[in-house]
Structure 1
């Protein structure tokens, strides 16, 4: 245990799990106490029945949202790590990390966002979008609330051929896309409650956006971004970096996509180590 420097907690993205940090955690552990967590609904964590706003409350249900995932991370930091921490989040794990940083207050000494989710489908991002998106939003919300539809969509997506197709988009260089990665992502989807987090997530139309959270934090935030991310454009990262005072750095990984920490760990790990060492 390293008692003189902050710990590091790695927070995965949607559809992933703690094993998605397979090429990072051991390297970072040489420089700080390093943990990885499975968010509720993913990996080996519990998979409670998804509750949506307006549905009858059930004791065994769970609202899959950034407040609750943030609370999970906060509790883990306070009850397990028990020391100041740097949060590292990929994709939606970035938003979870930002929300947890707010909850942790002085116990969080920095956040590293790796291709943070921009949440393009949130209602708050509708202004400026084509009018048909606003007109069709009520119909879309009605449809994705239907459990039979979300279950079928998930079942069709949780196939090896589909996962490999998505990975070809997410990892444009093709590096580190192998059967091990497919298994890491696919195995948790075979558990009985795996479709519940999918249902909860696709119904998140009004939740936290990263820029709102960043503006309410006074800790250093660093960005690492794959230049070829097909879902979270590099232009968005550049806008954040140029317009938000809390963001002190933006490192762009050429030819990398949405998960540069796994696609090109030899490029990303030295950046993570540098930030961690600077926090000692």
Structure 2
């Protein structure tokens, strides 16, 4: 690693199905304060899209096991080899879990993590106790079905249509603000690449992987939370519980009226929070 006293940088990590352009309203603003990077996770955006290998499938040279260890290692390698200075990781949705895993791998190079509507991963086996009783009965069938590549590919192709993307965004962005043609296009275009369905297959088969609270329990760096009040998928109530019970969580900012991606839906409210967090750390380094 480079000079530990060097100016801190920020790395932005997108959520499922998104890419670096999902930080379109945030990266330019943060870049006015500190060097600010964004990364396409393997399988998404403009990154490589190798074939998915599930945990119990035989290894092969052209396939990878998509998961938080893989993505966390990718982020850690990028920070060491390209950023080469202390870094603060900012992650939305599954990007938050990736940020936490990368923070573990980076150790002292990571100065802190900001989670924006971090994925709670309610379908993980370790979350089964929180699910309705009927889920226990259908779970074996569900797991068998989503393993089938023909089915996961069909599901992906059905979802990867502009009209469906717009419909999902209306759930994710309850205010409807910033659901524009540019957003539809930045989410749609990567789905048309040859291997796009593979990361989808890998992700929907992640039934036993890292959970954010478990990762946070092992961190001794500050974690700040930013959450959309109306997130339909990752309830703000759980974020409040994290803030009350996990020692490394330093702050929680709830964004009124916003959903799962408040950084893009309400950047006028999220950017000042991010700026404040980044600036306070930069000021501390300078003293």
Q: TM-score, normalised by structure 1?
A: 0.98
In the other structure, the counterpart of 1:94 is: 96
In the other structure, the counterpart of 1:180 is: 182
For residues 15-34 of structure 1, the aligned pairs below 5 Å read: 15-34=17-36
Q: Is the 8 A contact 1:226 1:255 kept in 2?
A: yes
In structure 2, list runs of 5 or more residues that go unmatched: 283-287
In terms of mean alpha carbon deviation, does 71-80 or 134-143 score higher? Answer: 134-143
- Separation (CA, whole Å) in 2 of partners of 1:142 and 1:55: 13
- Alignment counterpart, residue 275 of structure 1, candidates 264, 274, 277: 277
Question: 1:68-94: per-residue Cα shift (whole Å, max 9, x none)?
Answer: 000000000000000010000000000
Q: Is the 8 A contact 1:227 1:254 kept in 2?
A: yes
Q: Superposition RMSD on alpha carbons, in Å?
A: 0.8
- Separation (CA, whole Å) in 1 of partners of 2:280 and 2:95: 22
For residues 40-119 of structure 1, the aligned pairs below 5 Å read: 40-119=42-121
Question: Shift of the alpha carbon at 1:186?
Answer: 0.4
Q: Partner of 1:279: helix, strand, or coil?
A: helix
For residues 118-267 of structure 1, the aligned pairs below 5 Å read: 118-267=120-269
Q: Is the 8 A contact 1:5 1:279 kept in 2?
A: no
- Separation (CA, whole Å) in 2 of partners of 1:191 and 1:94: 25
Question: 1:129-184: per-residue Cα shift (whole Å, max 9, x none)?
Answer: 32221122111110000000000000000001100000000001111110000000
Question: Shift of the alpha carbon at 1:4?
Answer: 4.2
Q: Is the 8 A contact 2:6 2:85 kept in 1?
A: no
Q: Partner of 2:60: helix, strand, or coil?
A: coil
Question: Shift of the alpha carbon at 1:128?
Answer: 4.1
Question: 1:208-256: per-residue Cα shift (whole Å, max 9, x none)?
Answer: 0000000100000000000000000010000000111100100000000
Q: Is the 8 A contact 1:11 1:89 kept in 2?
A: yes
Q: Partner of 2:119: helix, strand, or coil?
A: coil
- Alignment counterpart, residue 39 of structure 1, candidates 27, 41, 50: 41
Q: Partner of 2:129: helix, strand, or coil?
A: coil
- Separation (CA, whole Å) in 1 of partners of 2:27 and 2:85: 18
Q: Is the 8 A contact 1:89 1:112 kept in 2?
A: yes
Question: Shift of the alpha carbon at 1:277?
Answer: 1.1
Question: Shift of the alpha carbon at 1:5?
Answer: 2.4
Q: Is the 8 A contact 2:20 2:38 kept in 1?
A: yes
- Separation (CA, whole Å) in 2 of partners of 1:148 and 1:41: 18
Q: Partner of 2:115: helix, strand, or coil?
A: strand
- After the TM superposition, list the runs of 4 or more consecutive aligned residues in structure 1 that deviate by more than 6 angstroms: none
Q: Is the 8 A contact 2:52 2:201 kept in 1?
A: yes
